[in-house]
Each structure stands twice: as structure tokens, then as C-alpha cells.
């Protein structure tokens, strides 16, 4: 027996170490990254401050920034945190004039100004919510994978994979609504796999309602998160006891999702003329950020632009937290080899066809979100689809389980990812102000 494969206490200790690394990295980013220097952070915080002030943000309002088209749940969460827990009143978002730009947007703000200390304190306190969401995502990922495999190490490997994506831990230390979307995606997948496994005493219909609620909340965080819904249908298909229960689960799921998020689509229709406020969003972004639409033909974006964007941005790729390209190849190769283990059927899974279908559909839905955003804009970033990251982590963990690798080797990719994460934090967060 592998020397690493013994005992619940050892698995618990390993998972605690994974959580500690994730917390350590994201807290460093939250505390040490200067205010406003995370992607679009001034605009995300602007939405929060508008809500703290008792007003609703609207697309195209003067000073509304690049994120006023986003759904409100994450900003409502942070506004509640600031107003009711921190007891901090609304503060104007006035970053000092930028000393540089990235992709045509102001970046690298001045930090030798009077308000910078107060800005740092406010932003750090808001970032702590993202830190907690990141840790919750790791926990939910472990629980989700535990529903579909009897191997006790595989859920820990999947959790470590999430922490081993430097882009994830950097997001978990800043103000960005992707954080809540990722956590809700993990919770939704936990609901799907619980229903699929059939081990819970909770009735399947109740689980279907819960999945619908989570998709509704996900849609209220990032509208593209609704693309996870087909994964629930796949779970019902494989997990329901018969045709009538399948139909009941589908109906209950969609009714619950609409009950949670329907008001947002109605509001958009009344204010902007369509449920997604798509036309108003395009007009606003063309006015404040015209370079975002300077892309090639749709065919070029589908075949070249989006794949290149995902390749370059999955592991790192934010404005300040990045890797040179050469480490990406081995990381992608290791991920591909790990997932390729899924072709081996010697290691039993709970409902293997259903498990792989649900997880595969979830990853496909997150990829579709990236394509939907990236076809017409320059924002073909992997983090757009990170709400499916827990599903990708599950596929990798199940794949390396099927290769029957020694347990220590299953952690090779996450450990390498954590090492690169630390390197980039030292270089681009702790080293933001060069000596």
C-alpha cells in the first residue's frame, strides 16, 4: 500500500494543508495588492458603493464604469457586509490618475496620494468576502467529488487542483463577482452529484428544487452561469427513478430557478427593453471601452482568438498576476494526461455514465460562456467560465484516480500549480512596488 494512502487523519491533514495554502495565498493578495490594481476592481467596488448609498446602479449612468451591466447578487452581498457588519458608509471611488494602461483601460494607479491608505483599508475588508468564498469553493469541491467516488483521496486531489490554479487564488483575494459565481457553481454541482448518487435521505424532488435555487442565484451573479442548467437536466436523467419523477424534477428545477432570478429579467425588460439588457450593455461598453470590440471575424475568434485566450489565461493571466508562457505547456499537458485517465473503466464510479456526463456538460457550459463573451469582444478570458472549475477539478481527480497512480503523484499538478502561484505572488503582488 502506498505510504501516503493510509488513514482518515492523513487525508484530513492533507486537506487542511490545502485549505491553509489557499487561505495564505488569497489573504496575501487581499492585504498586499494595492487598491484598484485587480482587474476592473474600481468598477466592481463602484457598484457596491452605489448600493451602500441606497441607490441602484444602472447601465450607462455617469461614472457607472465597466461593470454596471452585471447582475447584482455579489454586490448586494458586499454592500450588506460593508453596511451591516463593517458599519462603513458609502465612499466615493476616486482612484488617483493612472500612470499606465492595459488593453486601453486605466491601470497602475498612483498610490502616493492622501486617500490611498483609506482605499486600501476599505478594499482589503471587502476582499475578505472573496477569501471566504474561495475557501468555501474548495470545501464544496471536495464534498462534490466525494459523492461520485469511493476512493477517499480523490476528493482531496480535486480540492488541491482548485487551489493549484494560480488564477483562482488570485481572484479569491480581490473584489470580483466571479468569486461568488464559482462558489455557487460548486454548490450547484454538489446538489447534482448528490441527486445522481442517490445516497442522501433528501428526496430527489427537493434536491431538484435546491439545484434550481442555486442556478437562480448563479444567474443573479453572472448571467452566463445559467449555462450550468443542462448539467442538472443530465443529473435528473440519470438519477430519477422514472419518467414521472424526471418530469417533476425538471419542472421543479426551472420553476425554482425562475422564482429566484425571474425578477431580474423583468427589471431589465422594463428598463432596457430586453431581459438580458444586451443592447444597452453593448452601447455602454462601446462608449466607455471601444477597444473591447476590436476583434477579428467570428470564425477567427472561434478558432483562434478564444482558444488562445483560454490557453494564456487559465493558469494565470490577470493584469498583474501572470506567468511567462513556457510553464503553460507542461501544466496543460499534465491536465490533459490526467483527464485522459477517464477512458479507463477499471476503477468504479457511482453511476459512471451519469457522473461523467454531468461533469462534462458542466465543463462544456462554462466553455460556452467563454465563447459567448469572447466571440465579439477581446475578453476571451478563462475566468469567465470559472463557475465550471470545480467540475474540471473533478474530472482531473477522477482521471488520475483511474490511472492508479501512487497518491503522491496525483498531487503533482496541484503542487506545481501552487509553486507557480507563490512565484507570481512574490513577483507581482509583494513586488508591486519595486525597490
pLDDT digits (tens, 9 = 90+) for 119-175: 999 999 999 999 999 999 999 999 999 999 999 999 999 999 999 999 999 999 999
The count of residues in the chain is 435
What mean pLDDT is reported for the chain?
90
Closest CA to 229 of 371, 363, 365: 365
Given a cut of 80, whether residue 322 has pLDDT beyond it is no
Torsion angle in degrees (nearest 10) through CA of 356, 339, 328, 411: 110
3-state secondary structure of 349: strand
Using one digit for the tens of pLDDT, what is the confidence trace for 282-313? 999 888 888 888 888 888 888 888 898 898 88
Instruction: Give the rounded percent of residues in the chain with a pLDDT score beyond 90.
Output: 68
What pLDDT is recorded for position 87? 97
Please report where in the chains the cell 442517490 appears, as a residue.
Answer: 198
Query: From its phi and psi, is residue 96 left (phi > 0), alpha (psi between -120 and 50) or beta?
Result: beta
Closest CA to 193 of 138, 271, 141: 141
E strand or H helix at 433: none
pLDDT average, residue stretch 169-193: 97
Q: Centre a 10 Å sphere on the Cβ of residue 110 and count the other Cβ atoms it contains.
A: 12
Cα 60 to Cα 97, 284, 324: the distances in Å are: 22, 5, 37
pLDDT band for position 76 (50/70/90)?
very high
pLDDT band for position 349 (50/70/90)?
low
Using one digit for the tens of pLDDT, what is the confidence trace for 211-261? 999 999 999 999 999 999 999 999 999 999 889 999 999 999 999 999 999
pLDDT band for position 205 (50/70/90)?
very high
pLDDT band for position 105 (50/70/90)?
very low
Q: Centre a 10 Å sphere on the Cβ of residue 24 and count the other Cβ atoms it contains.
A: 15
3-state secondary structure of 102: strand
Closest CA to 174 of 27, 315, 22: 27
Amino acid at each position: 500500500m502506498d505510504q501516503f494512502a493510509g488513514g482518515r487523519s492523513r487525508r484530513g491533514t492533507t486537506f487542511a494543508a490545502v485549505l491553509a495554502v489557499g487561505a495564505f495565498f488569497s489573504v496575501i493578495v487581499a492585504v498586499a495588492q494595492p487598491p484598484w490594481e485587480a482587474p476592473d476592481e474600481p468598477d466592481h467596488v463602484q457598484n457596491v458603493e452605489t448600493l451602500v448609498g441606497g441607490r441602484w446602479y444602472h447601465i450607462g449612468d455617469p461614472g457607472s464604469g465597466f461593470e454596471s451591466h452585471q447582475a447584482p447578487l455579489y454586490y448586494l452581498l458586499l454592500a450588506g457586509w460593508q453596511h451591516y457588519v463593517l458599519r462603513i458608509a458609502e465612499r466615493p471611488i476616486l482612484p488617483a490618475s493612472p500612470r499606465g494602461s492595459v488593453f486601453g483601460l486605466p491601470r497602475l494607479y498612483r498610490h502616493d496620494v492622501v486617500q490611498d491608505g483609506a482605499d486600501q483599508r476599505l478594499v482589503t475588508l471587502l476582499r475578505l468576502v472573496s477569501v471566504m468564498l474561495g475557501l468555501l469553493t474548495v470545501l464544496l469541491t471536495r464534498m462534490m467529488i466525494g459523492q461520485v467516488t469511493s476512493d477517499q483521496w480523490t476528493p482531496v486531489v480535486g480540492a488541491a487542483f482548485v487551489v493549484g490554479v494560480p488564477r483562482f487564488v488570485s481572484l479569491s483575494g480581490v473584489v470580483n463577482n466571479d468569486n461568488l459565481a464559482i462558489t455557487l457553481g460548486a454548490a450547484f454541482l454538489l446538489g447534482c452529484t448528490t441527486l445522481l448518487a442517490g445516497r442522501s435521505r433528501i428526496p430527489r424532488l427537493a434536491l431538484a428544487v435546491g439545484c434550481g435555487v442555486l442556478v437562480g442565484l448563479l444567474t443573479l451573479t453572472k448571467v452566463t452561469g445559467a449555462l450550468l442548467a443542462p448539467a442538472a437536466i443530465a443529473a435528473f436523467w440519470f438519477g430519477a427513478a422514472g419518467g414521472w419523477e424526471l418530469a417533476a424534477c425538471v419542472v421543479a428545477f426551472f420553476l425554482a430557478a425562475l422564482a429566484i432570478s425571474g425578477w431580474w429579467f423583468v427589471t431589465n425588460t422594463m428598463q432596457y427593453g430586453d431581459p438580458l439588457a444586451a443592447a444597452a450593455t453593448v452601447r455602454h461598453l462601446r462608449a466607455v471601452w471601444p477597444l473591447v470590440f476590436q476583434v477579428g471575424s467570428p470564425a477567427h475568434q472561434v478558432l483562434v482568438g478564444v482558444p488562445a485566450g483560454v490557453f494564456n489565461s487559465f493558469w494565470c493571466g490577470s493584469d498583474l498576476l501572470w506567468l511567462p508562457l513556457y510553464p503553460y505547456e507542461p501544466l496543460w499537458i499534465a491536465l490533459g494526461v490526467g483527464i485522459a485517465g477517464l477512458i479507463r473503466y477499471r476503477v468504479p464510479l457511482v453511476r459512471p455514465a451519469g457522473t461523467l456526463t454531468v461533469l462534462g456538460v458542466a465543463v462544456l457550459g462554462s466553455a460556452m460562456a467563454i465563447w459567448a463573451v469572447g466571440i465579439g469582444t477581446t475578453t476571451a478570458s478563462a475566468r469567465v467560465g470559472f463557475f465550471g472549475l470545480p467540475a474540471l477539478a473533478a474530472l482531473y481527480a477522477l482521471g488520475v484516480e483511474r490511472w492508479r497512480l501512487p497518491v503522491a503523484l496525483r498531487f503533482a499538478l496541484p503542487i506545481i500549480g501552487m509553486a507557480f502561484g507563490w512565484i507570481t505572488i512574490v513577483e507581482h503582488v509583494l513586488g508591486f512596488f519595486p525597490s
